[in-house]
Amino acid sequence: MKFNHRFRDNGKSRTILLLHGFLSDMASMEGVAGELAPHFNMLTVDLPGFGGTPSTGIDYGMEDIAEGLRRLLISLDIQKVDILGYSMGGRVALSFIAGHPEYVGRAVLESGSPGIASDEERESRRHTDAGRAARINEDFTAFIAGWEEMGLFSSQRTLPEKTQEQQRQNRLSQQPAEAADSLMKYGTGVQPSYWEKLGDIDRPVLLLAGAQDEKFIAVNSRMSQLLPDARLEIIDGAGHNIHMEAPQKFGTIVIDFLLGG
């Protein structure tokens, strides 16, 4: 698997890999990249189905994505990265850490999850995601409008209109067939569950959840009990997308953790 990517050599000794969320691409992580650039070289990628990385016509799953990221690092002659993943990107980051820990220094999982442990709940989520994929293909603009009204993103409604519009345009710039296909190949309903592997991850991990995101507070609280070296931060004034809703707090906490504070 090959990724559309951008590597910025800022002359630093460490590189950080940024992984974006669903219905966006690497451009959505530019604000984070700007905060971290004084301290790290920057590697951003478009995950399959978004930006310039295709999903359709390719037989792959979550672990193939992790292997593709490993090969990307080899091609760039990068021996190890710190990694930051948001939401869907957090799930990808966790897959990469679990499968290729020797390539990871420190990890930040923002509103991340190890997947769904229960077979029954996973099957239910597969049906949910299949319905979402169908709606994406039927009327992408209407789907985006509905997506923005989800309770998960209600905390974003108080953000400046310019910020909301930038996010909306990034979402609308995606290709519907590609986004829909990605759900069926590495959505939460089909990806492996990594709950049982958390105890084997010996890398320092920062878990971030927004104070207004009750679902992911619960998920990350449980993760923090299972990971051997985890720090959990609940960010006031934010919901699911912490780096957009509370960028200054996000940047301060992430930099402190990554630099070893």
pLDDT at 160: 87
Distance (Å, rounded) from C-alpha 74 to C-alpha 83?
16
Q: Tell me, what DSSP letter sits at residue 46?
A: P
Task: Report the residue count for the chain.
Answer: 261
Note whether 134 and 181 are within 8 A (CB).
no
The DSSP bridge pattern shows strands 104-110 and 81-86 to be: parallel
Q: pTM to 2 decimals?
A: 0.96
CA distance 188 to 206: 21
pLDDT of residue 261: 58
The CATH architecture to which 5-258 belongs is 3-Layer(aba) Sandwich (3.40)
Low-confidence ranges of the chain (pLDDT < 50): none
User: Cβ atoms within 10 A of the Cβ of 156, count?
Assistant: 18
Do 187 and 213 contact (CB within 8 A), yes or no? Answer: no
Predicted local distance difference test score (pLDDT) of residue 1: 87
For the chain, the first-to-last Cα distance in angstroms comes to 36
**For residue 10, what are the CA distances in angstroms to 15, 42, 95, 98, 261?**
9, 7, 27, 28, 22
The domain spans of the chain are 5-258
* Residue % of the chain over a pLDDT of 70: 99
Q: Provide the angle, in degrees to the nearest 10, between the axes of the packed helices 140-148 and 161-172.
A: 140
